[in-house]
């Protein structure tokens, strides 16, 4: 049975599109950016400079990017998927060769005064490319292992380049993101097992090839107290910040760990600990709840979408957001190794903000164009 809405006009006016934007979702994003403003204001010792004001400016630019991208027809985005993937792959290759190293891990290049981290862009491009690939695939084709080889290569290429940067955390997130798309597209369970089984062995071999600081990260994660002033310092100080915040927190601008600089990287990696110290468990859980709403909202957009491309894209972007959030918060409370992953829309950082907002723009485009007529599987195959 064909839904009547599927037959709706395949293109519609700008005003109608704006009407279709989920403003509630945008409002939640604004709220999250507001959390970021408060946190960055305190990270600067109670000053809008140098983080908080710039954060708001970037978010404003990001909002415009979001709305702009949301207006772009999802079919156009689908057509751009592979070219975007190609561009990002080239950028990754360039950055791997010529990029600047910041903080030992994140590689970036200057592009017209803007610092670009291609690995962040790549995650969105990869979602788009894989979604585009599986969008065209019939259920039978998905069952064919040969059909899965090109997308697998599409995952492994950027993962390999990001590993070379070297950025273990982002590489793992990218790989997991690709795997999630495979999963959502309907790839059989046993095929994941087939790939996952040799992973421990590969991990063992890979560990011997890891860089010293990467090994140190894993070591200090496992035994943070063994090196309290060295690499374990960050984890310990972050846990002290959270733990000393207690149930209700020490109060706005009253966190000694954050205000007295004991908490490292408090405006980026450990901003959640900064929030937890000042606002306690209550504040931390509230921020986590807001993040959960945004993530699950993205998943709902995926479920409501009428075409496979949109579904996979929305799911991929939501999962990407989830992975960011989970890794960042887990590392703040010392549950996983430290990995230079910011908290989206809260942490300080320019290019990450634009990339994240670009992703939300694509997500919103899926939402706006959830019912559009899309060339189906049968058309091509």
**Applying CB under 8 A, does 274 fall inside the site for other proteins?**
no
Query: Does residue 57 bind other proteins (CB under 8 A)?
Result: no
- Decide: is 240 part of the binding site for other proteins (CB under 8 A): yes
Q: Is 44 in the site for other proteins (CB under 8 A)?
A: no
Listed in order, strand segments (DSSP E) in the chain are: 100-102, 106-111, 114-116
Count the residues of the shown chain that bind other proteins, applying the rule CB under 8 A.
55
Span interacting with other proteins, options 73-81, 150-158, 212-220, 277-285, rule CB under 8 A: 277-285
Provide the minimum distance between the beta carbon of 135 and other proteins in the complex, in angstroms, as a whole number.
Answer: 10
Nearer to other proteins among residue 21 and residue 286 (C-beta): 286
Sequence-distant (≥ 6) Cβ neighbours of residue 85 within 8 angstroms:
122, 125, 126, 128, 129, 154
Sheet order of strands, 114-116 included: 100-102, 106-111, 114-116
- Site for other proteins contains 116 (CB under 8 A): no
Residue 375 C-beta: closest distance to other proteins, Å: 12
User: Among 62, 118, 232, 280, which residue interacts with other proteins (rule: CB under 8 A)?
Assistant: 280
Residue 248 CB partners (closer than 8 Å, separation 6+): 279, 280, 281, 282
- If binding is defined by CB under 8 A, does position 244 make contact with other proteins? yes
134 in Cβ contact with 128 (< 8 Å):
no
Task: Round to whole Å and give the CA distance between 57 and 312.
Answer: 31
Of residues 146, 206, 136, the one with CA closest to residue 171: 206
Q: What distance lies between CA 78 and its chain's CA centroid?
A: 20
- What CA–CA distances, in Å, run from 156 to 171, 289, 303, 335? 9, 33, 27, 27
Q: Which of residues 171-230 bind other proteins (CB under 8 A)?
A: 180, 183-186
Residues 316-335 that bind other proteins (CB under 8 A): 319, 322, 325-326, 329-330, 333-335
**In the complex, minimum distance from the CB of residue 189 to other proteins, in angstroms, rounded to a whole number:** 10
Contact of 309 with 301, CB cutoff 8 Å: no
Q: CB of residue 71 vs other proteins: minimum separation in angstroms?
A: 25
* Residues 277 and 50 sit within 8 Å (Cβ to Cβ): no
Which residues in this chain contact other proteins in the complex, by CB under 8 A? Answer: 2, 138-140, 142, 180, 183-186, 237, 239-247, 256-257, 259-262, 276, 280-281, 284-285, 288, 291-292, 295-296, 299, 302-303, 308, 311-312, 315, 319, 322, 325-326, 329-330, 333-335, 376-378
């Amino acid at each position: 049975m064909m839904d009547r809405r599927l037959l709706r006009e395949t293109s519609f006016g700008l005003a109608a599109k704006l009407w279709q934007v989920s403003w509630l979702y945008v409002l939640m994003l604004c709220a999250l950016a507001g959390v970021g403003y408060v946190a960055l204001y305190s990270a600067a010792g109670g000053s809008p400079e140098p983080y908080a004001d710039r954060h708001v400016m970037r978010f404003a630019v990001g909002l415009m990017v979001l709305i702009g991208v949301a207006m772009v027809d999802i079919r156009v985005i689908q057509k751009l998927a592979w070219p975007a993937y190609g561009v990002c792959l080239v950028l990754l290759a360039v950055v791997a060769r010529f990029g600047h190293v910041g903080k030992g891990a994140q590689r970036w290049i200057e592009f017209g005064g803007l610092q670009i981290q291609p690995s962040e862009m790549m995650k969105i491009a990869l979602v788009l490319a894989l979604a585009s690939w599986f969008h065209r695939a019939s259920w039978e084709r998905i069952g064919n292992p040969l059909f899965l080889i090109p997308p697998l290569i599409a995952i492994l290429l950027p993962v390999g380049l990001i590993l070379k940067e070297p950025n273990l955390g982002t590489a793992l997130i990218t790989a997991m993101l690709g795997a999630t798309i495979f999963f959502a597209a309907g790839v059989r369970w046993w095929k994941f097992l087939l790939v996952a089984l040799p992973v421990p062995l590969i991990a063992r071999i890979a560990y011997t090839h890891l860089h010293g600081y990467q090994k140190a990260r894993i070591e200090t994660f496992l035994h943070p107290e063994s090196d309290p002033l060295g690499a374990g310092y960050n984890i310990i100080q972050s846990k002290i910040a959270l733990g000393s915040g207690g149930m209700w927190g020490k109060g706005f601008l009253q966190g000694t760990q954050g205000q007295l600089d004991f908490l490292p990287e408090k405006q980026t990696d450990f901003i959640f600990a900064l929030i937890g110290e000042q606002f306690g468990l209550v504040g931390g859980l509230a921020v986590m709840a807001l993040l959960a709403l945004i993530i699950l909202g993205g998943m709902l957009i995926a479920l409501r979408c009428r075409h496979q491309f949109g579904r996979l894209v929305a799911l991929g972007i939501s999962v990407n957001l989830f992975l960011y959030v989970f890794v960042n918060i887990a590392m703040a409370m010392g549950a996983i190794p430290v990995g230079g992953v910011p908290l989206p829309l809260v942490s300080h950082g320019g290019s990450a903000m634009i990339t994240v907002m670009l992703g939300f723009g694509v997500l919103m485009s899926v939402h706006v164009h959830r019912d559009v007529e899309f060339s189906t599987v049968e058309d091509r195959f």
